[in-house]
Amino acid sequence: MLCFNYKWWLFNTSSGNYSTVSGGYCNAAYEYNSTVSGGYGNTADEEYATVSGGCGNYAGDDYSTIGGGKGNEIYGRCSTIGGGVDNCAWNCQTIGGGYNNCANSTRGGTIAGGHDNTVEGTYSVTIGGGSHNYACGSVSVIAGGCSNNNCGYHATISGGANNTISNANYSSILGGTGNTVSHNNSHIIGSGINSSATDTTYVNSLEVVTAGGVASNVILKAANNTRYRVFVTNTGTLSSVPV
């Protein structure tokens, strides 16, 4: 919608009871207690909806809030978009900024920023940033990176690229690239690794270093629950002692 007139205030509309349009032009507040503070072409279309500024933003459900930016849209109650461009949010979602991000979980989804990120699933799905990330597992997290997919319950991808957690609960990928976890409580540190068992941590290689002149060691537990400290002697012999 374009408004070519020096009397721009004539083109603002506040038709809802107790609705307010404070400034800007071509803005509209249609419902009870809805507010548009300024900017251009912004719409607050439901009760208690607020658009603070920016251009072409649409707050389309009760208690929804858009801070600014351009072309941001809300279609669910109690959602917030801080700013950015062409972001969209549904019920009880939060988008901090960035562009072309979409938060569409059942409730409590969050995208802090980045671009072309999507959260779906049931609740409390979070993407910190990055690009082209997709999270759909309940209480799942993608901290950042690129083209990561997380559909595990309480699962986390810290970063990297092209990593996937597929219906694996309580699992994680620290980073790297091209990793896939498909088993519960399994974890990957490295790149190009596919999980093959539950309750397992995978690495490409592992070096345990010394500290303070004390030999490096690993604690392992036997089937009878006896714990052993496994270490290498100065002559290169692998040895162990119970602890």
pLDDT digits over 33-56, tens only?
999 999 999 999 999 999 999 999
Residue 1 pLDDT > 50: no
Average pLDDT of every residue of the chain:
92
pLDDT digits over 143-155, tens only?
999 999 999 999 9
Which tokens is 62 given? 């009760």
- Kindly report which listed range (21-25, 63-67, 113-117) carries the lowest average pLDDT score: 21-25
The neighbouring-strand residues paired with 231 are 217, 239
pLDDT digits over 107-138, tens only?
899 999 999 999 998 888 999 999 999 999 99
What is the C-alpha to C-alpha distance for residues 235 and 151, in angstroms, rounded to an integer? 48
What is the C-alpha to C-alpha distance for residues 170 and 81, in angstroms, rounded to an integer? 29
Q: What dihedral angle (degrees, nearest 10) is formed by the CA atoms of 123, 104, 161, 144?
A: -70
The whole-number pLDDT of residue 236 equals: 84
**Which DSSP string do the residues of the chain spell out, in sequence order?**
-----S-GGGG-EE-STT-EE-SSBS-EE-STT-EE-SSBS-EE-STT-EE-SSBS-EE-STT-EE-S-BS-EE-STT-EE-S-BS-EE-TT-EE-S-BS-EE-SSB--EE-S-BS-EE-SSB--EE-S-BS-EE-STT-EE-S-BS-EE-STT-EE-S-BS-EE-S-TT-EE-S-BS-EE-STT-EEESSS-B--SSS-EEES------BTTBPPEEEEE-TTS-EEEEEE-TTS-EEEEE-
Can you give the residue ranges of every domain in the chain?
Answer: 207-243
pTM (predicted TM-score): 0.89
Q: Give the number of other Cβ atoms within 10 Å of residue 162's Cβ.
A: 16
pLDDT digits over 180-222, tens only?
999 999 999 999 999 999 999 999 998 888 777 677 888 888 9
The whole-number pLDDT of residue 10 equals: 53
C-alpha distances in Å from residue 112, one per residue of 28, 61, 196 = 28, 21, 33
Which tokens is 13 given? 């509309």
pLDDT digits over 68-113, tens only?
999 999 999 999 999 999 999 999 999 999 999 999 998 899 999 9
What is the C-alpha to C-alpha distance for residues 72 and 94, in angstroms, rounded to an integer? 12
The neighbouring-strand residues paired with 214 are 211
Residue 139 pLDDT > 60: yes
pLDDT (mean) for 2-27: 76
What is the C-alpha to C-alpha distance for residues 149 and 154, in angstroms, rounded to an integer? 14
